[in-house]
Amino acid sequence: MKIVFLSMDPKGAIIRGAGYVAASIPDGNNIKFYCCGNNYKKNNYSKLVGIVSKDNPDIIMVSTTTLLYNEASKVIKAIKESINIPVLMGGVHPMIVGSELLKENEYLDYLCIGEGETFIKEFINKYNTQDFFNINNLVYRRDGQVFSNSLNPPEDLSKLPEFPYKWFNRVVNPSGALPVSVTRGCPHSCTYCGNSTFLKMYGKDYIRKMPIDHVIKEIKYLKDNYKFNQLHFGDDTVLANAKHAEALLTRLKSELNISYTCMSRAESINKKMVSVLKETGCTSVAMGVECGDEEFRRKKLNRFMTNEQIKNAFKLLQKVGIQTTAFNMIGWPFDNDDKLTKSTIALNKELNPNIVQVTWFYPFPGTKLYDHCEKHNLINKDLFLGSYHAGSIIKGYENKKPLFKSYTRR
């Protein structure tokens, strides 16, 4: 089978899901993999349409997030108007929205609504056979109706293929950091985060750790083949399991001696963990503050760390010379947003992080806060399902000037 696989990212950066799924396509198939972000600037899809038409594939596969779904739809529409071939879409957005996506988008033929590594093998091996419509994770259209099959269990991370770094336009970030991933899933259910949806879908089995031997082998490959300053563990909760984190980071130090940055939650930071981080070459840790109002965080965001826990985590890291980044949000869909932002500013002043990142709240489908926004008709649909807008997409907030902006402390 001749396959064109489109990974939607405006900068051609690594998309883990897309890479692993494409690498799982059985041998013997002809696959062309494109980081297509640079080919659809200013709504000009002619270059990409020309490339795909020349490839003359049997099927197009597209992996997209929610924020790039609109762009993915435009690309698919342009291609199908040129060459009418089947399209399979996977990624975060189809997983969350499910069969409704196929009902509303005539240019899509199939969806993968779960993890895709096992699914894609079955999809290709059973394509055009009687067993095709029994594949788990498949959503399809038949006789004018949309059908949604059951989910496969979460993937066994020890059986994943080697990640195809060579297919991506940008492996190393402009800062010189190389992003790696060692876990899947998050045990928390924050009301604004899509991870809460996956936890509902799969339960606690969705929370998995990559075998440490596999991680070390992959990093050795990266060290031999790419120039970078340090690693960045982009997992939401790489430190959540302290025993696994200590074992991984200790081996990273002893076998490869590569410095790194990571993300964490305040609850995972204590004296012992900070000692491990310092000894193994951690240079920076980023943590979510989100809002400085402790009661609001607990009741509306489902985040139960106290302000004291957050302050203590930042202090412990700063005391040993590890730089800190605070993630914050503004534009909450509640009447007291300005008051909440002022509390966030006050807490950040106490934390005194090296970097403060401030983003506008975005209502992601499948989350509790999205449901709240839908119930109260708060979403500006003209701005929805696009990349992060320069301002809020909450009605009445579109022209709101931010009280709090990102900055770096020198």
| Structure confidence at residue 277 (pLDDT) | 98
Instruction: Report the CATH number that the domain containing residue 130 is assigned in CATH.
Output: 3.40.50.280
Q: Nearest CA to 256 among 280, 225, 283, 232?
A: 280
Whether residue 54 is found in the same domain as residue 197: no
Measured over the CA atoms of residue 304, residue 274, residue 230 and residue 353, the dihedral's sign is positive
| Structure confidence at residue 42 (pLDDT) | 54
**Confidence band (pLDDT; 50, 70, 90) for 215?**
very high
Work out whether strand 208-209 and strand 183-184 pair parallel, antiparallel, or are unpaired.
Answer: antiparallel
Helix (H) / strand (E) containing 408: strand 407-408
| Structure confidence at residue 38 (pLDDT) | 56
Q: Is the pLDDT of residue 89 over 90?
A: yes
At 288-321, the pLDDT tens digits run 999 999 999 999 999 999 999 999 999 999 999 9
Whether residue 121 is found in the same domain as residue 219: no
What is the average per-residue pLDDT within 52-81? 92
Residue 162: inside a domain, yes or no? no
What is the average per-residue pLDDT within 242-268? 97
Reduce the secondary structure of 172-238 to three states and give it as a string.
Answer: CCCCCEEEECCEECCCCCCCCCCHHHHHHHHHHHHCEECCHHHHHHHHHHHHHHCCCCEEEECCCCC
Residue 15: inside a domain, yes or no? yes
Residue 163: inside a domain, yes or no? no
> What are the two backbone dihedrals, phi and then psi, of residue 60, each rounded to the nearest 5 degrees?
-110, 135
| Structure confidence at residue 272 (pLDDT) | 98
What distances in angstroms separate CA 84 from CA 53, 257, 321, one per listed residue? Answer: 10, 51, 58
Rounded to 10°, the helix 307-319/337-351 angle is 30
Give the distance, in angstroms, between the CA of residue 158 and the centroid of all CA atoms in the same chain: 20
Whether residue 205 is found in the same domain as residue 346: yes
Q: Nearest CA to 383 among 70, 102, 97?
A: 70
Most confident of 66-70, 136-140, 143-147: 136-140
Given its phi and psi angles, is residue 257 left (phi above 0), alpha (psi -120 to 50 degrees) or beta? left
Whether residue 123 is found in the same domain as residue 203: no
Whether residue 122 is found in the same domain as residue 21: yes
Whether residue 21 is found in the same domain as residue 135: yes
Residue 38: inside a domain, yes or no? yes
Q: Which residues pair with 261 in a beta bridge?
A: 232, 284
Whether residue 131 is found in the same domain as residue 191: no
Percentage of the chain exceeding pLDDT 70: 97
Query: 148, 163, 181: which is the final residue of a domain?
Result: 148
Instruction: Report the CATH number that the domain containing residue 201 is assigned in CATH.
Output: 3.20.20.70
Whether residue 358 is found in the same domain as residue 313: yes
What is the average per-residue pLDDT within 240-259? 96
Q: Where are the alpha helices (DSSP H) in 24-156?
A: 46-55, 69-82, 92-97, 100-104, 117-125
Residue 100: inside a domain, yes or no? yes
Cβ-proximal residues to 84 (8 Å cutoff; 6+ apart), any chain: none
**Confidence band (pLDDT; 50, 70, 90) for 53?**
confident
Tokens standing for residue 52: 């795909």
Average pLDDT, the chain: 93
| Structure confidence at residue 387 (pLDDT) | 64
Per the listing, tokens 């430190």 go with: 239
Residue 12 lies in domain: 2-148
Q: Tell me which long-range contacts 118-122 makes (C-beta under 8 A, separation of at least 24).
A: 118/24, 118/152, 118/155, 119/21, 119/90, 119/152, 120/21, 120/22, 120/24, 120/25, 120/61, 121/24, 121/25, 121/26
Residue 267: inside a domain, yes or no? yes
CA–CA dist 198, 301 (Å, integer): 17
Per the listing, tokens 């089995």 go with: 205
What is the average per-residue pLDDT within 330-353? 97
Q: Is the pLDDT of residue 46 over 90?
A: no
Is pTM beyond 0.85? Reply is yes
CA–CA dist 359, 281 (Å, integer): 29
Query: 81, 113, 148: which is the final residue of a domain?
Result: 148
Q: Diameter of the chain by CA atoms?
A: 65
Contact 12, 169 (CB under 8 A): yes
Percentage of the chain exceeding pLDDT 90: 82
CA–CA dist 178, 172 (Å, integer): 5
At 360-409, the pLDDT tens digits run 999 999 999 999 999 999 999 988 876 666 789 999 998 899 999 999 98
At 10-25, the pLDDT tens digits run 777 889 999 999 999 9
| Structure confidence at residue 40 (pLDDT) | 57
What distances in angstroms separate CA 261 from CA 41, 88, 184, 255, 317, one per listed residue? Answer: 32, 35, 18, 17, 12
Tokens standing for residue 243: 């025993």
Q: Is the pLDDT of residue 43 over 90?
A: no
Whether residue 232 is found in the same domain as residue 355: yes
Total tally of structural domains belonging to the chain: 2
Secondary structure (DSSP) of 268-335: G--HHHHHHHHHTTEEEEEEEEE-S-HHHHHHHS-----HHHHHHHHHHHHHTT-EEEEEEEE--SST
**Confidence band (pLDDT; 50, 70, 90) for 244?**
very high
| Structure confidence at residue 388 (pLDDT) | 62
Whether residue 101 is found in the same domain as residue 184: no
b/e string for 250-264 if b means 16 or more Cβ within 10 A? ebbbeeeebebbbbb
Given its phi and psi angles, is residue 314 left (phi above 0), alpha (psi -120 to 50 degrees) or beta? alpha
What is the average per-residue pLDDT within 247-273? 97
| Structure confidence at residue 390 (pLDDT) | 75
| Structure confidence at residue 294 (pLDDT) | 97
What is the average per-residue pLDDT within 163-171? 93
Q: Nearest CA to 251 among 218, 285, 286?
A: 218
Whether residue 260 is found in the same domain as residue 294: yes
Helix (H) / strand (E) containing 173: none
What is the average per-residue pLDDT within 168-193? 93
What is the average per-residue pLDDT within 91-105? 94
Residue 339: inside a domain, yes or no? yes
Residue 222: inside a domain, yes or no? yes
Q: Is the pLDDT of residue 37 over 80?
A: no
Contact 17, 92 (CB under 8 A): yes
Tokens standing for residue 317: 């890291």
Cβ-proximal residues to 377 (8 Å cutoff; 6+ apart), any chain: 395
Whether residue 142 is found in the same domain as residue 202: no
